[in-house]
A and B are shown apart, each in its own frame.
Chain A
Amino acid sequence: ELKVEQNPLFLSMQEGKNYTIYCNYSTTSDRLYWYRQDPGKSLESLFVLLSNGAVKQEGRLMASLDTKARLSTLHITAAVHDLSATYFCAVVENNDMRFGAGTRLTVKP
């Protein structure tokens, strides 16, 4: 069964600090998604990672994919309050998309 596990589930950071969110999955899929969700809102696409070793960066966020280890990371650099949100990873296998439980990130001044 396709499983996706994220950790941590809750993350409280101070502004200016760095941290990493981890996403482990059980399939051999090489397609992994990262989304951001603000309270009461829909999901906003951050990254689509399509191959082993893929790395993408946007602003203070950088995502990477290691298909051999079945692991993706979302690294946050010098966090700012605007990054406070819930972050989800998701994996696709045979058109079945499975999401992690999400990491609720709070960035404090």
Chain B
Amino acid sequence: NAGVTQTPKFQVLKTGQSMTLQCAQDMNHEYMSWYRQDPGMGLRLIHYSVGAGITDQGEVPNGYNVSRSTTEDFPLRLLSAAPSQTSVYFCASRTDRGKSYEQYFGPGTRLTVT
């Protein structure tokens, strides 16, 4: 049981490049989400999904796309990277079945856009 995994751990992009951050979970959680964390700040929700085929925007969705074709995977796409997207990105998953509501975070991807 690997929990929530993210790849890559580190990435450097040039302005205007695109890339996909990968996130996978093996806990059969229905809810998955992406956050960004800027220095000295809390996490901000980018996009989330409540199940395969269902996604919605969070607090800071601009510049990012997501899709959820399977329960396990929830990739985050940066369409045209900008320096303002330099941040640490965390993926998380949760189930509301069983009423624990515990949310688990991946190890993070540190992204630098130059």
Residue pair B42, A95 in contact (C-beta under 8 Å): no
Return chain A residues, CB-CB under 8 Å to B58: 96
Q: Mark contacts of B38-52 with chain A using CB atoms, 8 A cut-off: 1 yes-contact digit, 0 otherwise.
A: 001111110010100
Binding site for B on A (CB under 8 A): 4, 31, 33, 41-43, 45, 48, 50, 88, 90, 92, 95-102
Q: Mark contacts of B67-100 with chain A using CB atoms, 8 A cut-off: 1 yes-contact digit, 0 otherwise.
A: 0000000000000000000000010000000011
A31 in contact with B101 given A95-B48, A95-B50, A98-B59 (CB within 8 Å): yes
> Chain A's nearest CB lies how many Å from the CB of B29?
13
- A3 CA / B48 CA spacing, docked (Å): 19
- A33 CA / B45 CA spacing, docked (Å): 15
- Number of residue pairs spanning A and B whose beta carbons lie under 8 angstroms apart: 50
Residue pair A42, B107 in contact (C-beta under 8 Å): yes
> Chain B's nearest CB lies how many Å from the CB of A52?
16
Residue pair A33, B103 in contact (C-beta under 8 Å): yes
Interface of A is mostly: strand
Count of chain B residues with a beta carbon within 8 Å of a chain A beta carbon: 25
Residue pair A98, B101 in contact (C-beta under 8 Å): no
Binding site for A on B (CB under 8 A): 31, 33, 35, 40-45, 48, 50, 56, 58-59, 90, 99-108
Residue pair B90, A42 in contact (C-beta under 8 Å): yes
Residue pair A50, B101 in contact (C-beta under 8 Å): yes
- A102 CA / B41 CA spacing, docked (Å): 7
Residue pair B41, A48 in contact (C-beta under 8 Å): no
> Chain A's nearest CB lies how many Å from the CB of B58?
6
Return chain B residues, CB-CB under 8 Å to A42: 90, 105-108
From B42, B48, B102, B107, name the one whose CB has the most chain A CB atoms within 10 angstroms. Answer: B42
Return chain A residues, CB-CB under 8 Å to B107: 41-42
- A21 CA / B40 CA spacing, docked (Å): 17
> Chain A's nearest CB lies how many Å from the CB of B87?
14
Return chain B residues, CB-CB under 8 Å to A102: 40-42
> Chain B's nearest CB lies how many Å from the CB of A89?
9
